[in-house]
């Protein structure tokens, strides 16, 4: 393991978000895959900070989007499935085994979410709740459930504010962006990642019980 | 999916008759409603459209084909998705049918392939595959049914004697073989490629398949074309080499393959005095230039100067005036490049042309490159060498431009 990777792991284990982010930002692209691997391993062991950083990397690097775009063409479908996939990654990160390649593991999750999406699209009848996408379900859980609100409260401010405005107060993306003085794309990404983090923080039985 | 008129549509494309059915996709002739044009829509089968791996392959094929730029490769206009989530490719429509149909029709009238027929097909397909390989793709499914004919403004060198490809037609290659990819990557048991045109290394399970698999198919296609024709035995030897069992025994790339075919079909009295000097500087490695996107402006003045120098030099030496001219009433060729190169130094030669649509570079060492705007050589030994460009103008008159240069050893 290189020094840079060791330093990131140490900062994550110490719970130092600021240092972790700055070390990741300065890491050379050569270490990109190794960093993902380290973060996923720490996240699987139960580190919420590692999960948060992993989601930021998967989303920010465009990896998830690239996988989704390789099988979907419609732009809004791509957005929806990216969110679904991030949530699935967060909620099943505990089952990640370090022996697997993170990108391969994420790709298989994306493929499952793509199939779900296509099935939903193909069905013409209105959807029963269990056929909603993970993002939709997470959104309605956030709005209605106390336990989920507790999980929401534990999010870093950066994510908690936009997710709360969106899923609890029901504001449109544009208005959230205006209120927080961020641009719409940033707000969308933060909401997607924030929802995924909430999903990751929840007890899996809570997440699947609906 | 079904419009009021009862016709099936995919987005703006109204599907007409089915012109091909494969295990993964159906090919329709179609009409682009907005541009009011005939196109081809290749749509993924419904049962495969929910399989993300198959979708990824199919969409990747469309995107990959888009990277290939050649008049001899079918153009992708668009990719889209039907209401039933079936991805589809929108492709150029070739209005003159397939090479398989053309040859069958001609054969029923007693036709056999002429030297010119073979050269036309070999050059067109070599240009197509070169473009495919430059995009780092392997076609994998070259067969007479995948070679199409379309109408085109009269062009292409050497069409005057070909009854196979008419003066106003052009050959183009369709369908990058996705079946092979799919069979390999999803564990499906569909054999890739078309029976009889499939390289041996593609028959037995997954293996490393490189661009030389296409040389096998290309040779097999020509062997099929020349069936029953009276052509030099050298041609059959060249084709047999292209179909060697071991890919290592085949020519190393498309240009080398074409060189063997051109040599086999060259007119007999070929021992001209210039050919000996050209051989002197032999093994040099031509690399077709990356693309036409390089700066041309600053070179224009130099090129004009060189053209003048070449003309003067040509008159003085007398040698250049032998053979076909470098200009006709409608077309013109000129090669610009250095007059002297040091051994091991890279030298670029650029063609400036008008009135020709396709041309062939003849390079030291007996190598050929089709349709490149410039070539780069790195001479490996001292001597004098010549680069030549052959083309034919719209009237079928042959043109030739030559550029001679000296290769010096590296001392001042």
pLDDT at A125: 47
Residue A149 belongs to some domain of the structure = yes
Instruction: Please answer yes or no on whether B85 and A114 come within 8 Å at the CB atom.
Output: no
At residue B322, the pLDDT reads 54
Q: A181 in a domain, yes or no?
A: yes
Q: How high is the pLDDT of residue A152? A: 82
Say whether A73 and B50 touch across the interface (CB within 8 A).
Answer: no
User: Bigger pLDDT: B190 or A92?
Assistant: A92
The answer to whether residue A22 sits within a structural domain is: no
Give CATH 1.10.510.10 domain extents, chain B: 99-265
Q: Which of A120-134, A143-157, A166-180, B327-341 shows the lowest per-residue confidence on average (mean pLDDT)?
A: A120-134
Considering only the beta carbons, identify the residue of A114, A121, A122 that sits closest to B52.
A114
CATH number at residue A142: 1.10.10.10
CB contacts of B185 in chain A (<8 Å) are none
The DSSP result for A107-172, as a single string, is HHHHHHHHHHHHHHHH--SPPPGGGS-HHHHHHHHHHH-HHHHHHHHTS-HHHHHHHIIIIIS---
Range scoring the smallest mean pLDDT among A8-12, A160-164, B253-257, B312-316: B312-316
Is pLDDT above 80 for B357?
A: no
**Contact assessment for residue A120 and residue A114, using Cβ atoms and an 8 Å cutoff:** no
Q: Which fold has domain B99-265?
A: Transferase(Phosphotransferase); domain 1 (1.10.510)
Mean pLDDT across A133-147: 76
Q: Does residue B303 surpass a pLDDT of 90?
A: no
Question: What is the model's pLDDT at position B180?
Answer: 41
Whether pLDDT at B158 is above 50 = no
Question: What are the residues of chain A with a beta carbon less than 8 Å away from any beta carbon of chain B?
Answer: 70-74, 110-111, 114-115, 118-119, 121-122
The answer to whether residue A187 sits within a structural domain is: yes
For residue B195, CA distances in Å to A17, B59, B192, B217, B221 come to 60, 25, 9, 10, 12
Between residues B294 and A51, the one the model is more confident about: A51
Helices (H), B162-232: 178-186, 200-203, 212-225
Q: What is the pLDDT of residue A196?
A: 87
Whether residue A192 lies inside any domain: the answer is yes
End-to-end, the C-alpha distance of chain A in Å comes to 42
Tell me the residue range of the domain where A180 lies: 129-208
CB pairs under 8 A between A and B: 29
Count: domains in chain A: 1
Q: Above 90 in pLDDT, residue B375?
A: no
- pLDDT tens digit string along B64-112? 888 888 899 999 999 999 888 899 999 999 999 899 999 999 999 999 9
CATH architecture for segment(s) B273-408 = Sandwich (2.60)
Residues with Cβ within 8 Å of residue B20, at least 6 apart in sequence:
B26, B27
- Residue ranges, comma separated, of all CATH 2.60.40.10 domains in chain B are 273-408
Chosen from B11, B44, B52 to mutate, greatest number of chain A CBs within 10 A? B52
Average pLDDT over all residues of chain B: 76
Residues of chain B with CATH 3.30.200.20: 9-92
Cα–Cα nearest to B43, from B73, B87, B83 = B87
- State how far residue B45 is from chain A, nearest Cα, in angstroms: 14
The CATH class, in words, for B9-92 is alpha beta
Neighbours of A17 (CB within 10 A): 15
Residue B133 near residue B184 (C-beta atoms within 8 A): no
Quote the ipTM score.
Answer: 0.72
Could you give the 3-state DSSP secondary structure of residue B117? helix
Chain A residues within 8 A of B66 when measuring between CB atoms: none
User: Which residues have CB under 8 Å from B251's CB, separation 6+?
Assistant: B215, B241, B242, B257, B259, B260
- Closest residue in chain A to residue B89, using alpha carbons only: A73
Q: Given an 8 Å threshold on Cβ–Cβ distance, is A73 in contact with B81?
A: yes
């Amino acid at each position: 393991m290189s020094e840079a990777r060791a330093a990131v792991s140490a900062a994550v284990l110490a719970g130092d978000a600021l240092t972790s982010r700055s070390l990741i930002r300065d890491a050379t692209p050569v270490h990109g895959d190794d960093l993902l691997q380290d973060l996923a391993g720490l996240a699987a062991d139960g580190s919420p900070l590692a999960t948060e950083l992993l989601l930021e990397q998967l989303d920010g690097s465009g990896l998830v989007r690239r996988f989704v775009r390789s099988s979907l063409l419609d732009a809004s479908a791509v957005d929806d499935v990216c969110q679904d996939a991030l949530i699935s990654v967060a909620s099943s990160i505990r089952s990640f085994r370090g022996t697997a390649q993170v990108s391969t593991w994420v790709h298989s999750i994306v493929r499952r979410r793509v199939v779900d999406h296509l099935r939903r699209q193909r069905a013409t009848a209105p959807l029963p709740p269990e056929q909603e996408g993970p993002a939709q379900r997470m959104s309605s859980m956030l709005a209605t459930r106390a336990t989920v609100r507790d999980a929401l409260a534990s999010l870093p401010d950066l994510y908690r504010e936009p997710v709360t405005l969106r899923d609890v107060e029901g504001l449109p993306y544009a208005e959230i962006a205006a209120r927080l003085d961020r641009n719409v794309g940033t707000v969308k990404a933060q909401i997607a990642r924030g929802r995924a983090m909430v999903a990751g923080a929840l007890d899996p039985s809570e997440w699947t019980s609906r | 999916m079904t419009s009021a008129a009862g016709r099936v549509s995919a987005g703006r494309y109204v599907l007409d008759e089915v012109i091909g059915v494969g295990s993964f996709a159906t090919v329709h002739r179609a009409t682009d409603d907005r541009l009011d044009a005939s196109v081809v829509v290749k749509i993924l089968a419904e049962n495969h459209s929910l399989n993300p791996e198959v979708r990824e392959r199919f969409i990747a094929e469309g995107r990959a084909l888009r990277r290939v730029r050649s008049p001899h490769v079918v153009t992708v206009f668009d990719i889209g998705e039907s209401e039933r989530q079936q991805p589809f490719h929108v492709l150029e429509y070739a209005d003159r049918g397939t090479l398989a149909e053309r040859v069958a029709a001609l054969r029923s009238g007693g036709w056999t392939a002429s030297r010119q027929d073979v050269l036309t097909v070999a050059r067109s397909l070599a240009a197509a595959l070169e473009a495919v390989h430059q995009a780092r793709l392997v076609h994998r499914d070259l067969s007479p049914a995948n070679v199409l004919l379309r109408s085109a403004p009269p062009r292409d060198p050497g069409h005057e004697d070909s009854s196979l490809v008419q003066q106003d037609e052009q050959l183009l290659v369709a369908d990058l073989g996705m079946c092979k990819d799919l069979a390999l990557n999803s564990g499906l048991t569909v054999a890739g490629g078309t029976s009889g045109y499939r390289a041996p290394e593609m028959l037995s399970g997954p293996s490393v398949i490189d661009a030389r698999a296409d040389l096998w198919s290309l040779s097999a296609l020509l062997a099929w074309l020349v069936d029953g024709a009276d052509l030099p035995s050298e041609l059959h030897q060249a084709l047999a080499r292209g179909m060697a069992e071991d890919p290592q025994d085949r020519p190393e790339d498309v240009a080398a393959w074409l060189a063997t075919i051109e040599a086999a079909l060259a007119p007999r009295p070929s021992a001209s005095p210039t050919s000996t000097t050209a051989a002197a500087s032999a093994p040099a490695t031509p690399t077709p230039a990356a693309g036409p996107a390089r700066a041309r402006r600053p070179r224009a003045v130099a090129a004009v100067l060189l053209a003048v120098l070449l003309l003067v030099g040509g008159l003085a030496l007398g040698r250049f005036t032998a053979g076909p001219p470098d200009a006709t009433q409608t077309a013109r060729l000129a090669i610009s490049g250095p007059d002297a190169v040091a051994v091991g130094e890279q030298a670029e030669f650029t063609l400036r042309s008008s009135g020709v649509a396709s041309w062939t570079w003849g390079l030291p060492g007996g190598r050929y490159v089709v349709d490149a705007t410039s070539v780069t050589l790195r001479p490996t030994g001292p001597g004098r060498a010549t680069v030549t460009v052959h083309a034919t103008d719209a009237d079928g008159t042959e043109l030739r431009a030559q550029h001679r240069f000296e290769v010096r050893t590296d001392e001042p």
